[in-house]
Chains A and B, each alone.
Chain A
Amino acid sequence: MTDVKTQNAISLKGSAQLVKEFFHFGLNSILYQRALYPSDSFKREKKYGLTLWVAHEKKLQAFMDPLLQQVEYWLAKRQLKRLVMVISEVKTKEVVERWQFDIHTENLAEEGENAHRVKEEKKIRQEISDVIRQITASVSFLPLLEEPVSFDVLIYTGKDTQAPEDWTESGACLIQNSETVQLRSFSTSVHSVNTNVQYKADF
């Protein structure tokens, strides 16, 4: 009974790790499916019961790893409200796609530092798998990226948040006359993540 209880207990730090891992595989899937980088610079990894593509280019990994570390830190501090991946054209700086992850953190303050929530890990994995599977399937309705594109990652956080040097103030990078498609969401019982993609309509 004690073992089962320990396995299903989710703490704030554990939930932050789970969400960070989701962002790791989710952002890499977006990079692969939208063909921002050559497909031969990705390698296969098994996770959540899926075969996922993860970039193994050194420069890209050196770019993403500090980003995910900082995201995990802010998740554990309950300061992360939204993560947005912005895909824009290189020449004109026009935003063509926007992947938005809204994060809602449950309040565990009254329960103390070591408060836990109970949720089965298998169910969490299944929900994350559903979201990433939907990210993969979204290639079918998203428009073709004809021009060379680049990406940025925005973070929505509180005003009193301390930021490292790499993070600069930015606008919201909204798309005019955009279409929005709501994807699935998942929850670790501490963090809830809602996913939607906004893209520029051609007509």
Chain B
Amino acid sequence: MNNKGRTPGSAGRTVRSSAQQNGLTMRKRDMTPTRNTNLLPNATFVGDRFLGVRLDQDELDHANHLMTSKLYSNKENLNNSMSEPNSPEKKSVEGEALKQMMRHKSTGALTDADDGDRILCYKKNLAPPPAIGYINQAKVLYSTNSVINPASSVKKSTRHVKETATKVLDGPGLTKDLYSRHLDWGCHNWVAVALGHELYLWNTETCVIKNLFEDNAPTNEGLITSVRWSQEGRYISLGYASGAVKIYDPNRPKTTEYVRELRTLRVGGASRCASIAWRKQGVMTCGYKSGDIVNHDVRISQHVVSSWGGDNGHCRDVTALEWSADENMCVSGSSDRTAKIWDGRHVRGSTVIQDPEPMFTIDEHTGQVRTAQFCSFRDGILATGGGINDGTVKLWDVKRQFQKVRELNVCETGGVGGIVFNRPYSEMLTASDDGFLRIYRFNANYKLSHEIQASNEPIMDLVGSPFDEVLIGDMEETLKVFQLFNVDKSTNILDRTAPKNVGLNVR
């Protein structure tokens, strides 16, 4: 159909309308309705139908060949996507050729190659990896982050301390008195524990527990207020609330009542002996509630050899007494908030020494001085611990005019119940009323290194064993043994002496 669906009438109207728009009025007379549309000069007059471009014969033949050839029968020919997963089929020559023919240049925009170039990669991502754990040497040398650290820069850590008690014992009847001394650990590993009127002896090695009095304890002197072994450990002295001090020999067999008691020492006007310290050659220093300190020579009948008190002494009860290792001086702590250091030469004279002047008086504590201890590894250092409302430990240098070396705030509420020095580690252990044991390192500028919660109640007593254990007694009527200063035996042979065998045979 060559007229292409155009009627003669509509053709005439279209021509007229277009002529008016274009301003071609002169051609109006020439326009006559005709079937021959090829004479129109403008292509827009063709009409309202789209005529597609006709394919030539060669392309049609090529399409027919592709559809009917044997290549069409292969499945993989239809699947030309490079990213779609294919099943592992055997590659055919026709399929390979077709893939190469129809490959699309998908990476053209991302490459710097020419149009005719091709980029091939040899075994992509399959290069052999380096050895496991290999780190670039330059990174080890020049890296600025802290991923890799040489061994020399490893921060030195503090030693591990076992924070649980190794032994826990009940102490029913343990007197709840912060200013008494209920425990003492002898050099033979016998621990003396005062429970009210009774005294128990406990061997920490064999775990044998014996009652010294066996239900025949003396009750006329009141409660036991202090317990102390003698220096060599053969005798034990008990201070009572009445002011009497009794000396017992646990070695003696019990045949009659009070036969183990060796001696009872009484001082006129004294009451409540709360602190005892032994010295060599049988001299025992006792502190009384009146503030007097009396040195007894237990070997002679006139046992009072000196008395430190009066205006030069304490005015309230003496709560702490300790001799230094060389026995040149004695420190006494008192409830009158002072601690005094006494000269060892004032113990014995030709006559009874009365009220000598002390070497120094420490009056910087804001509470009672509850404990005092000489340092065992640094000569000349004295530590005094405050009582209630004064939870500090102050360190003094007795060789340099008793100047204060350091003040440590141990406990915010309450006081310091005990101080123990450890020689192998150069550390100080404190027990305080908040139930904590704290270790201070003297070699690291008195830094607090460990805090162990030993109890939920105030710790009344803290005594150290001859080796690496400490014993505490708290207001829960519990005795606990902690191993805080474990020492490797192969490296500290000199510090591990065997327990002294003094022939103590408690019967």
Contact = CB atoms under 8 A, between A and B. Distances in A.
Contacts of B113: 82, 156, 172
Of B121, B122, B134, the most chain A CB neighbours within 10 A belong to B122
Interface stretch (A2-10, A117-125, A157-165): A157-165
A168 B134 contact: no
Interface in B141-173: 142-143
Contacts of B112: 172, 174
Given A59-B128, A145-B136, A146-B136, A156 B118 contact: yes
Contacts of A82: 113
Interface in B110-142: 110-113, 116-131, 134, 136-139, 142
A168 B111 contact: no
Interface string A65-104: 0010010000000000110000000100000000000000
B101 to A, nearest CB: 12
B110 A172 contact: yes
B127 A171 contact: no
B57 interface: no
Interface residues of B, number: 28
Interface stretch (A34-42, A44-52, A129-137, A187-195): A34-42
A169 interface: yes
A157 B120 contact: yes
Nearest to A166: B123
Interface stretch (A12-20, A106-114, A147-155): A147-155
B220 interface: no
B107 interface: yes
A159 B120 contact: no
A174 B110 contact: yes
B306 to A, nearest CB: 78
B128 A152 contact: no
A166 B122 contact: yes
A63 interface: yes
B124 A155 contact: no
A36 B128 contact: no
A21 interface: no
B121 A146 contact: no
Given A145-B139, A166-B123, A171-B107, 14 more contacts: A35-B138, A38-B134, A70-B122, A148-B136, A151-B127, A152-B121, A155-B119, A157-B117, A167-B120, A168-B120, A169-B121, A170-B121, A172-B107, A174-B112
3 cross-chain pairs, A with B, having the tightest CB-CB distances, nearest first: A170-B121, A59-B128, A172-B111
